[in-house]
């Protein structure tokens, strides 16, 4: 008796203007595979979870988009947040929602915007993880072998004595370290990246909320658990209005003494930036990545081009740029400056 929770409330600001407030990254087909990240995530989960056992947590503004992309999902399985309060409230909401069906169920929490290359191994890892937590309890994460000193991820240090062939106890969990620390972690060889996929029993995670995020725990205990019609928009708005904004990583994973990790053996990328998108995409002989056959490139190198499919585009003599167009916005940005992209929307709003 296991449930899958897809977290789909992020804004994907670093992929602007392709990812927008009206249609954030998880609802986009940035990889050009014919379906959105969310749709891919759902189809993957649906191979081992019954549709009724899949919940999607997203902003109420994205209910229609979610229904359009996942028409199979029962309406009551879309948990709507009036506003994003990061992943801890999202997980608490899902846990309390599932607890109403079965307080002893296990749940698998997955991001909605990742690129996974080996579904068979991925699903096998998930199933092994479910069996583990159902027998032993604890908070299980999936770890990925790090390849660069990335500062946008969580780092998991493994205890040397292995718990089982696949699973180790976690010694430390450090969310988003600075560059120096990330380098130390990478070089030590003792660390894995947190893939952002979590497996636990509903009662165990609620217990951890009680210990480490008591305010959120009390809100759901008092305002959700025994309330009539707890999922009404009014009630959820009431709870979220008082909820702290914090991620599950900072709020619980860094602090809990019950964290375990399973090394994920599947291909994984969180496709968090245009840079990581470039890394995983097929490139032409000059290392350019383009999403459309209508784009003509002449003496152009190391560029990322993401434009509407019906647009004829010709680019000559450009290097190291991101060229992205969506709706009425065209963005051209040097790849070394891509950290600034998440501010561009605001800059434009204040100049027009």
- Contact residues for ligand GDD, defined by CB under 6 A: 7-10, 26, 57-58, 81, 84-87, 90, 111-113, 152-154, 175, 193-196, 249, 270, 272
Close Cβ partners of 53 (under 8 Å, ≥ 6 residues apart): 2, 3, 4
Give whichever of 171 and 275 is closer to Mg ion, judged by the CB atom.
275
Cross-strand partners of 158: 170
Give whichever of 26 and 306 is closer to ligand GDD, judged by the CB atom.
26
Give whichever of 248 and 323 is closer to ligand GDD, judged by the CB atom.
248
Select the residue whose beta carbon is closest to Mg ion and give its number. 270
Q: Which of 134, 191, 143 is nearest to 166 (CA)?
A: 143
Site for Mg ion in 256-285 (CB under 5 A): 270
Minimum Å distance from CB 311 to ligand GDD? 28
Select the residue whose beta carbon is closest to ligand GDD and give its number. 9
Residue 257 Cα distances to 24, 232, 270, angstroms: 34, 35, 26
Query: Is it true that the peptide bond before 142 is cis, omega within 30 degrees of 0?
Result: no
When CB distances are held under 5 to 8 angstroms depending on the partner's kind, the choice from ligand GDD, Mg ion, none that residue 233 binds is: none
Give whichever of 87 and 288 is closer to ligand GDD, judged by the CB atom.
87
φ, ψ dihedrals at 208, nearest 5° = -70, -35
End-to-end CA distance of the chain: 53
Minimum Å distance from CB 135 to ligand GDD? 25
Site for Mg ion in 161-220 (CB under 5 A): none
DSSP letters along 82-151, please? SS---HHHHHHHHHHHHHTT-TT-EEEEEESS-EES-HHHHHHHHHHHHHHHHHH-SEEEEEE---S--S
Minimum Å distance from CB 153 to Mg ion? 9
Residue 196: helix, strand or coil by DSSP? strand
**Overall size of the chain counted in residues:** 352
Write each residue from 215 to 254 as x if it is in contact with Mg ion (CB under 5 A), else as -, in one continuous string. ----------------------------------------
Give whichever of 88 and 297 is closer to Mg ion, judged by the CB atom.
88
Total residues binding Mg ion (CB under 5 A) = 1
Minimum Å distance from CB 270 to Mg ion? 5
Number of Cβ atoms within 10 Å of the Cβ of 236: 20
Minimum Å distance from CB 208 to ligand GDD? 15
Site for Mg ion in 80-139 (CB under 5 A): none
Minimum Å distance from CB 8 to ligand GDD? 5
Give whichever of 55 and 153 is closer to Mg ion, judged by the CB atom.
153
φ, ψ dihedrals at 284, nearest 5° = -85, -175
Minimum Å distance from CB 183 to ligand GDD? 16
DSSP one-letter code for 325:
E
- Please tell me the distance from the alpha carbon of residue 74 to that of residue 63, in angstroms, as a whole number: 12
Q: List residues near Mg ion by CB under 5 A.
A: 270
């Amino acid at each position: 008796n296991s449930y899958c929770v897809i977290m789909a409330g992020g804004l994907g600001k670093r992929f602007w203007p392709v990812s927008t407030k009206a249609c954030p990254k998880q609802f986009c087909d940035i990889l050009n595979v014919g379906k959105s990240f969310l749709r891919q995530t759902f189809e993957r989960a649906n191979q081992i979870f019954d549709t009724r056992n899949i919940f999607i947590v997203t902003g109420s503004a994205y209910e229609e988009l979610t229904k359009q992309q996942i028409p199979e999902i029962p309406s009551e399985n879309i948990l709507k947040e009036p506003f994003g309060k990061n992943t801890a409230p999202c997980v608490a909401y899902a846990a309390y929602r599932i607890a109403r069906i079965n307080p002893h169920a296990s749940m698998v929490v997955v991001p909605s915007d990742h690129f996974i290359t080996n579904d068979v191994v991925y699903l096998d890892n998930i199933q092994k993880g479910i069996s583990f937590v159902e027998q032993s309890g604890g908070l299980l994460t999936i770890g990925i072998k790090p390849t660069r000193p990335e500062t946008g991820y969580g780092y998991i240090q493994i205890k040397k004595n292995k718990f089982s062939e696949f699973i180790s106890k976690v010694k430390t969990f450090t969310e988003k370290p600075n560059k120096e620390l990330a380098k130390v972690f990478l070089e030590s060889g003792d660390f894995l990246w947190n893939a952002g996929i979590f497996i636990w029993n509903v009662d165990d995670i609620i217990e951890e909320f009680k210990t480490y995020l008591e305010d959120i725990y009390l809100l759901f205990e008092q305002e959700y658990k025994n309330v009539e019609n707890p999922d009404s928009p009014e009630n959820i708005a009431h709870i979220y209005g008082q909820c702290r904004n914090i991620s599950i990583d900072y709020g619980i994973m860094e602090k809990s003494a019950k964290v375990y990790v399973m090394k994920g053996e599947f291909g994984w990328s969180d496709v968090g930036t245009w840079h990581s998108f470039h890394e995983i995409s097929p490139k032409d002989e000059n290392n350019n990545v383009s999403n459309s056959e209508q784009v003509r490139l002449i003496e152009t190198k190391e560029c990322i081009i993401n434009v509407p499919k019906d647009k004829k585009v010709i680019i000559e003599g450009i290097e190291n740029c991101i060229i992205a167009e969506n709706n009425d916005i065209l963005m051209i940005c040097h790849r070394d400056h891509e950290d600034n992209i998440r501010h561009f929307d605001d800059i434009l709003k204040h100049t027009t």
